[in-house]
Amino acid sequence: MILRMPEYCKNFRCIADKCKDNCCIGWEIDIDRETAEYYNKVVGDLGKRLKECIKTEGDVSSFILKGERCPFLNKSNLCDIIINEGEEHLCQICTDHPRYYEWFNGLKEGGIGLCCEEAARIVLSQTSPLSFWDRELADEDCDEYDAQLYAYLVKCREIIIHLFEDKSVSLENCISALVDFADNIQNRIDICDYTVPPLNTQLPTLKTDITEILRHLLSLEAMDEKWKPYIENVIGNPELDSLKPFSSADTEQYLRNIAVYFIWRYFMKAVFDEDIISKINLTVISITVIAYLFEHNRTADGILTLESCAETAKAYSKEIEYNEENVDAVRYL
């Protein structure tokens, strides 16, 4: 099978101890069976630590966190397993993170997730149209789906990505066109009509009650203790309703890149459940919230940088994308 990922993924390297929000802190870390068996055979001081710091419940093994930290994250925020055994002996979740994958017949699509600050910086900083690199892998299984629907959705996804890459269409018009296009796609899928609908980029701008959306986010489970106070602060911004989140030239490219990221990551999941609308809801709400957060930060700090915007996108992604209940709460809003 072919592994296909955006070209920019080649540029990703873990920044390790330079990371301000280490993925080895505050996350449950499950260990795949093959790696757990390897760790059980390690001898010496490291082998003793591995046996003491791994718990197994049924068929699931995981690290016992120490104060929310992985027990093998040392004082320099470096991994003792990598230092002593090599990166090839990390468990699968640590090897993959922040990469994500979706499996199809003969094709495995992937990318790097916004929940990692370095990945977010790379995604936001892109200035060229989305391009890909492929490499061959051994075949892997995927869920069943309709091949005709798959081909149809691939065409539709390409149109949507090109829409957000077309700077002659304003971001607000892109979003209005996306929502209309998705409704038309869904209506066609529901009656097994796989003709591609027209794309209308001249629709009225959608109205957004950002305060209602942010209050909804406040009701969700938080990963980081700083998240809810931050959202409360945004809601309390007296200028919130007057912000123009899609009109800032310095963040326009970041937001277009984020839109493409969400479409690439989630749109094709509809091949398994025939539900386009929820994927587009997640995309539109995410773009809108992140855009407002950018502008709120501007009013608070007086300036925006790539690094600060990447940090904001990362914080949103960590809270929403990496909790399935939160994903559902947003996409079905």
* pLDDT the model gives residue 13: 86
pLDDT one-digit tens code per residue, 114-129: 999 999 999 999 999 9
pLDDT at 23: 77
- The per-residue pLDDT for 57 is 87
pLDDT at 77: 83
CA distance 5 to 22: 24
Res 106: pLDDT: 96
Q: Which of 319, 315, 318, 321 is nearest to 296 (CA)?
A: 315
Cβ atoms of residues 35 and 91 within 8 Å: yes
Find the length of the chain: 333
Tell me the C-alpha distance between 33 and 175, whole Å.
43
Q: Give, for 112, the enclosing helix (H) or strand (E).
A: strand 107-112
pLDDT of residue 319: 96
List the one residue out of 171, 185, 101, 178 whose CA is nearest residue 143. Answer: 101
pTM: 0.91
Q: What is the dihedral of CA 156, 160, 162, 164, to 10 degrees?
A: 180
Residues of the chain with pLDDT under 70: none
Kind plus residue range of the DSSP H or E element containing 82: helix 80-85
